[in-house]
Structures are given as C-alpha cells and as structure tokens.
Amino acid sequence: MELTRRTFLHGAGAGLALAVTGAARTGWTATTLNLGSAELTTLSDGYLVQPRNFVLGGMPEAEYMPILRRHGLSPEEFRPECNVTLFRDGDRVVLFDAGSGSGFLPTVGTLPEAMDAIGLNPEDVTHVVFTHGHADHLWGVLDDFDEPFFPNAKHMMGRVEFDYWFDPDTVNRIAPTRTNMAVGAKRRLDLLADRITLFDDGEEILPNVAARMTPGHTPGHMSFEIRGGSESVMILGDAVTNHHINFERPEMGSAVDQDRQMGADTRVLLLDQIAHAQMGVIGFHLPQGGIGRVERLGDAYRYVPETG
C-alpha cells in the first residue's frame, strides 16, 4: 500500500477552495494511495459538529477524560471529518457512500466540489456502494430536484440495512432523536428502490471487493475489504467512528451507535482482525483524510494516519 498524494489547501490562493469545500479546519481536499493496480482516494464531504452527549452519553467520565486529554480534545464538541472513498480499478469508478447532500448540516455536503477539484464528474461514477443508511452517508445520493446525483451508477446496499430503513415501521421504532434519519432514509430509498442491488455478508460485490457485516452502528452496517495483490485495505464506514476512544477503549459502548453493545463487540473483533492482518484502513470519520493503519498496544490500539 503506497500513499501517492495528499492534496492540501493553503496560502492566499486557496481561500475560495477552502470556502467551497468546507476544508478550512483540516486543510485537505483529497488523499490518494495505490493498491496494486487500483487507486483509492478519500474526498472531503466536510465535517460534522457533534455535541458532548451525542458522542459521550452514557460513558463514564473518569474513563474517557484521560483519553481525550492525551489527544488534546475537549469533551464539549467534536468535529469529525467526513471522508468519502473513491475506488478506481480499470473501468470501474466506485464511491463508497454518497455524502450528505445539501439538506443535512451546513458543514457537510461538499463532495461535489471535492470531485470537481480532481476532475471527476457525477456521470463518471459506475457504482455507489453504501456502508449504511445514515444521513452523512446516504442523503447525497439525490440532487436538489430528487433526481439521482450519479445518474449512470449502479447503487448497492447490504440487504439487512436496506430492509431496515425501507421498512415503514422503522420510523416508529427508532429512538426519537433519530426519527429524522429514518424519514430521510426511507424517502431516498423509495425513490431509488428500482436502482439498488442488494448483497449479503461475505459476498464479493465487485472484483477484489468483499462485503463484511459489521453491525451495531446500524443493524446492517457493512465494511468492505479491498484486495490488491498481497495487500488489503478495510473501508470501515462507521464501524469505527473516532481515532481516540474507539481505539484505546474499543469495548466501551458509544452513544453514536444504535446498538451500543453490538457496536462495541463488532469494533473489538474488527480491530483485532485488522491489526493481526496488518491491513490498511480507511475511516469515514478518521482524521487527515482517513487513510492509515492500526497498531496494537497491549489490549488497546492506536490509529496511525498515513502522512505521505
């Protein structure tokens, strides 16, 4: 796995780009690596703004505060990046997730500008593969006129995840704080239903791309293992949602997961697998473009970003 390029926005000439991409906090547009003959690029869709309880609710303060201090973070607000993965292999141009679009938060929805910055048009995308149905991963699939933003793409989602969000009763069963997520997902999946191909855990959904069921964040959340020769990279989606507590205390249930215990159990197994296999990782909410590796530290782990 060779990191080939990280594109930074800096200096006086970058002012406009910073304004339109939402990248002023991190100063990056895209990070690219080679995996065999394929190329993986993360594109910035901006960043989220998450209040304390959304991330830390239910966690013991005495256990998470030392971790946050080590990372120089305040517990009052988190601003995780949103990294959409672009996979180019031969004639396939694949996006893993579609970003937020324009209807979610003002700090996200910058994927179209990031694509434009690297010369990629929505019509060029051949496949859109979803990790799960939350707004920052799904809502960008439609344009402002409710037409598919990627008109030529085959859309793909795990069967369990699709069934969960497509079920009209999900909005009545989900936590009240997530009702908007359910309404938004259902509306988009209704409009896209005839375009979506479903797949199951363990399937090779595309050449060298295998689906890995990683539930807990949502009931049918999927990660994806991409292989190139003797190397591999795991696209994590939101199976791991931060670079601090999730790595140092993966067994600690997170408030961002719909099923806290299942999310923690999944995270423990996933990080163990990745560290043992020395796989690269791409995290939707990991810093500096989200491309890096996992190091084991006793019973805990550390995220190490690729720096180029």
Maximum distance among all Cα pairs of the chain, rounded to whole angstroms: 51
Quick count: other Cβ atoms within 10 Å of Cβ 109? Answer: 21
User: Hey, what long-range contacts does 119-126 have (CB within 8 A, 24 or more apart)?
Assistant: 120/86, 120/93, 122/149, 122/150, 122/151, 123/150, 123/151, 123/152, 124/93, 124/152, 125/93, 125/94, 125/95, 125/150, 125/152, 125/153, 126/91, 126/92, 126/93, 126/94, 126/152, 126/153, 126/154
Residue 242's domain comprises: 2-305
Instruction: Summarize the confidence of residues 154-166 as an average pLDDT.
Output: 98
Percent of the chain residues past pLDDT 90, beyond the cut: 84
The helix (H) or strand (E) run that includes residue 223 is: strand 222-228
- Cα separation, 174 vs 180, whole angstroms: 10
Instruction: Summarize the confidence of residues 256-269 as an average pLDDT.
Output: 97
Strands 28-35 and 209-213: unpaired
pLDDT at position 94 is: 98
| CATH number for the domain harbouring residue 260 | 3.60.15.10
pLDDT at position 299 is: 87
The sign of the torsion formed by the CA atoms of 97, 99, 104, 108 equals: positive
Ranges assigned E (strand) in 21-142: 28-35, 38-47, 50-51, 77-78, 81-89, 92-96, 127-129
Residue in 84, 187, 185, 178 with CA at minimum distance from that of residue 129 = 84
Tokens for 225, please give them: 């293992």
Lowest-pLDDT range of 3-7, 224-228, 236-240: 3-7
Lowest-pLDDT range of 33-37, 87-91, 175-179: 33-37
Phi and psi of 40, rounded to 5°?
Answer: -115, 130
Residues 79, 83, 85: CA angle, nearest 5 degrees:
170
Q: Specify the higher pLDDT residue, 36 or 234.
A: 234
pLDDT band at 128 (very low <50, low <70, confident <90, very high): very high
User: Total structural domains in the chain?
Assistant: 1
Percent of the chain residues past pLDDT 70, beyond the cut: 90
Residue with tokens 């971790």: 67
- What is this structure's pTM? 0.91
Lowest-pLDDT range of 25-29, 123-127, 222-226, 276-280: 25-29
Instruction: Summarize the confidence of residues 272-286 as an average pLDDT.
Output: 96
Tokens for 235, please give them: 């696209």
Residue 27 pLDDT > 60, yes or no? no
- Cα separation, 52 vs 138, whole angstroms: 24
Residue 17 pLDDT > 80, yes or no? no
Distances (CA, A) of 300 to 27, 57, 75, 251: 30, 21, 21, 9
Instruction: Summarize the confidence of residues 152-168 as an average pLDDT.
Output: 98
Residues 99, 148, 126: CA angle, nearest 5 degrees:
80
Instruction: Summarize the confidence of residues 249-263 as an average pLDDT.
Output: 97
